[in-house]
Amino acid sequence: MMFRHATSLAIAILLLFVATPLRAADAILDEVIIAARTKGMNGEAPDWPRVEREAYALLANAPGEGGRTAAIWHVLRALKDGHSFYVPPASPVSGSAGVVSHAMPSSKPPASSRRIATAYDTADGVGHLTIHAWAGRTGEIPAATREVRDGLNQALADARCGLVVDVAHNAGGNMWPMMGGIAPLYDDGVVETFQGRHDERQVVNVDDGLLRMGDSVFPRVDLPVMVRKPPQVAILLGPGTMSSGEILALGFKGQRNVRFFGQPTRGLTTANQTIRLANGGMVGLTTARILDRKGIVHNGVAGRGYGPAAAGRPRMAGTAVRETLTAWRR
């Protein structure tokens, strides 16, 4: 009797294995799943057994990088943070350095631009600096930071009345050269804070004109001093202001000599961690929320950014500057 029971049990276990074929593991996909579950800002929310099954089904239906890309995107979209992204190995930006945040939701990161800042002629005693999206390589960060500082000083050379910083079309990338280059414009003290999923915090601050994460200066590069401190700073925003572009501008929120003009931003005020994969691809995983200098949380809800409640559509550079000045002097 006992022998027949043991035999039946063995047959049942064998049938179970036959009915459920072993899944071929994929180390790359598994790494992304584990990172999303353990590090993602919303990592506790998804039904992970279901998400994993569906991701592996996508990979099984299209073996290779195409199927893996679909599977990885499925995992990241399950987080519903609107900011996590994947760059397949064939993409030229997969080697770029994204310390904070890179991308538009459900899209790809902004392409690396050789030009990160553009200074324009002073108008009515007000300088004008545009800071562009930038997602260059790690080794390019010092030069990019210097370019921003050089552009800032060029814009300030004859700017007796104030400065316009235009990030209305800055779709993000690496925040450090952007913010490091204009760091003396921020008041000393806490600029903003990254709040992780378990309330761990990293404070971005400015001390004596240097941008820091905690006590460490970022980026580590010697820069020329800012030629003058503008009495007023106008920040031009718009729906094209995303990710690190928003984080740059958010650092000025609450600063007494700064006002926002334009339209509300896109709403991607979250921090991404770069994860480089063995296949040459790259994941930008959203790992933290942003708190402004007053401790107010900005959750990064796409389509619900911050900025002026009502304003006209941002126009060409010269027109935008004139309109900004007119509005400010009222």
Averaged in consecutive runs of 10 residues, what is the pLDDT profile of the chain (330 residues)?
51 44 80 98 97 97 96 98 93 47 40 79 92 93 98 96 95 95 98 94 96 96 97 94 94 94 89 94 95 85 60 49 61
Q: What is the pLDDT of residue 315?
A: 47
CA nearest neighbour of 98 among 88, 110, 90? 110
Spatial distance between the Cα atoms of 218 and 176, rounded to a whole number of angstroms: 7
Spatial distance between the Cα atoms of 164 and 270, rounded to a whole number of angstroms: 25
The pTM of the whole model exceeds 0.85? no
Spatial distance between the Cα atoms of 113 and 135, rounded to a whole number of angstroms: 7
Asked whether the beta carbons of 191 and 129 are under 8 A apart, the reply is no
Token pair of 126 as six digits:
């007000």
Q: What is the pLDDT of residue 122?
A: 87
In this structure, which amino acid lies at residue 281?
G
CB atoms inside a 10 Å sphere around CB 209: 14
Spatial distance between the Cα atoms of 324 and 319, rounded to a whole number of angstroms: 8
In this structure, which amino acid lies at residue 76?
L
> Measured between alpha carbons, how far is residue 315 from residues 162, 167, 261, 311, 326 in Å?
20, 12, 12, 12, 14
In this structure, which amino acid lies at residue 229?
K
CB atoms inside a 10 Å sphere around CB 30: 13
Spatial distance between the Cα atoms of 321 and 1, rounded to a whole number of angstroms: 91
Helix (H) or strand (E) holding 297, with range, is strand 297-298
Token pair of 299 as six digits:
């959750």
Q: What is the pLDDT of residue 90?
A: 78
Token pair of 166 as six digits:
């235009």
| Strand boundaries in 101-257, DSSP class E | 117-123, 126-131, 162-166, 189-196, 201-207, 210-213, 216-217, 233-237
Token pair of 44 as six digits:
């506790």
